[in-house]
Amino acid sequence: MHLRALRYLVAVAEDGHFGRAAARMHVSQPSVSQAVARLERQFGAQLLDRSGGRVVPTETGERVLAEVRAFLRHIDEAARIATTPDTGTRLRIACTPFFSMWVTVQLLTPYREAHPTAEVSVAELDVSAQARAPVAGQIDVAAGEPLMADPRLRETTMREDPCAIRMSIHHPLAQFDEIALSRLAGVPIADGDPQLHPVYHSWIRETLRSAGVTPTFAPPTRDSPSAISRIIDGTMVSIAADILPEGAIPGLAVRRVGDPVRWRWATTMLREAPKPSSVAFTNWARLRG
């Protein structure tokens, strides 16, 4: 099975005609016809219906074409990466889905303005995936929630923020402008999934216990939309950095924590030979913090 044959198949499906596809691919029509027929034998299924005036994919052909197109996109991107010189300005950042909004608005927009030649991309990954990605060469730096200790990785505090409690606008605590942690005794607290967010989970436990509160945790949620909906319906409240303005999410109230509690944001990159753009981004973020 050759890449060229896969491209011929896509061309015929798009043009609906072997001759036009051949002209677009700058080859003879018999070459395209033979290559597609060979593909059908290899797949063991008819991929194109040639019975009408226009060649169209069969039902099986549609499913195969979806996978072929995705495969060719990956191949083309790999070729682009291989042939594009890395100037050192490319920066691949990973963060959790909820934090990606904050990263984009608060960090990446001004960072791009300060570094107009930088090529920046953001991947949304859970914490465990973030810890693996730098080692695998998939990202340059993880930004946001501190990760579990790994001798291969270097963690740097990016900034610290005061904390807030998020709750339903109808929650009894929403009547206060500022909330002491002691008021959270017996209140179900969202901590996400402790397996996906181990550092965050430990931080909440330590924070509440230091205020004399034995934590009451709500059943864990594995994604931000589910957690937010459960907060809005009053099932639980959450403690997090005070980065979400009041009214940003309908039905959600945000109240500053009265205790001197702060959440630490961090960047994590390879300990040995980190990419210069990762170091530059971390230093820049620390200055802004």
Closest by CA to 62, choosing from 73, 72, 49, is: 49
pLDDT exceeds 70 at position 101: no
What pTM was estimated for this model as a whole?
A: 0.60
Phi, psi of 209 (to 5 degrees): -65, -35
Integer Rg of the chain from CA: 26
C-alpha 76/C-alpha 3 separation (Å) is: 11
Domain ranges within the chain, ordered by starting residue: 3-83, 90-158+265-288, 161-263
Phi, psi of 177 (to 5 degrees): -80, -30
The model's pLDDT over 193-203, given as tens digits with 9 standing for 90+, comes to: 777 778 888 88
pLDDT exceeds 70 at position 258: yes
- The CATH superfamily label for domain 161-263 reads Periplasmic binding protein-like II (3.40.190.10)
Q: Residues with Cβ < 8 Å from 48, sequence gap 6 or more? A: 9, 12, 13, 36, 40, 55, 56, 57, 58, 61
Q: How many residues does the chain have?
A: 289
Taking residues 78-93, what's their average pLDDT? Answer: 65
The model's pLDDT over 42-79, given as tens digits with 9 standing for 90+, comes to: 888 899 998 888 989 999 989 989 988 888 887 877 67
- Let me know if the fold of 3-83 is the same as that of 161-263: no
Residue pair 281/154 in contact (Cβ under 8 Å)? The answer is: no
pLDDT for the residue numbered 85? 46
- Give the pair of three-digit tokens for residue 2: 């050759």
Comparing 63-67, 111-115, 213-217, which segment has the lowest mean pLDDT? 111-115
- Give the pair of three-digit tokens for residue 68: 């072929």
pLDDT for the residue numbered 96? 80
C-alpha 89/C-alpha 127 separation (Å) is: 25
HEC letters along the chain: CCHHHHHHHHHHHHHCCHHHHHHHHCCCHHHHHHHHHHHHHHHCCCCEECCCCCCEECHHHHHHHHHHHHHHHHHHHHHHHHHCCCCCCEEEEEECHHHHHHHHHHHHHHHHHHCCCCEEEEEECCHHHHHHHHHHCCCCEEEECCCCCCCCEEEEEEEEEEEEEEEECCCHHHHCCEECHHHHCCCEEECCCCCCCHHHHHHHHHHHHHCCCCCEECCCCCCHHHHHHHHHCCCCEEEEECCCCCCCCCCEEEEEECCCCEEEEEEEEECCCCCHHHHHHHHHHHHHC
Does domain 90-158+265-288 correspond to CATH entry 3.40.190.10? yes
pLDDT for the residue numbered 274? 87
From the candidate CATH numbers 3.40.50.2300, 1.10.10.10, 3.20.20.140, 3.40.50.12780, the one assigned to the domain spanning 3-83: 1.10.10.10
Distance of CA 105 to the CA centre of its chain: 15
pLDDT exceeds 90 at position 83: no
Residue type, 239: I
Distance of CA 272 to the CA centre of its chain: 25
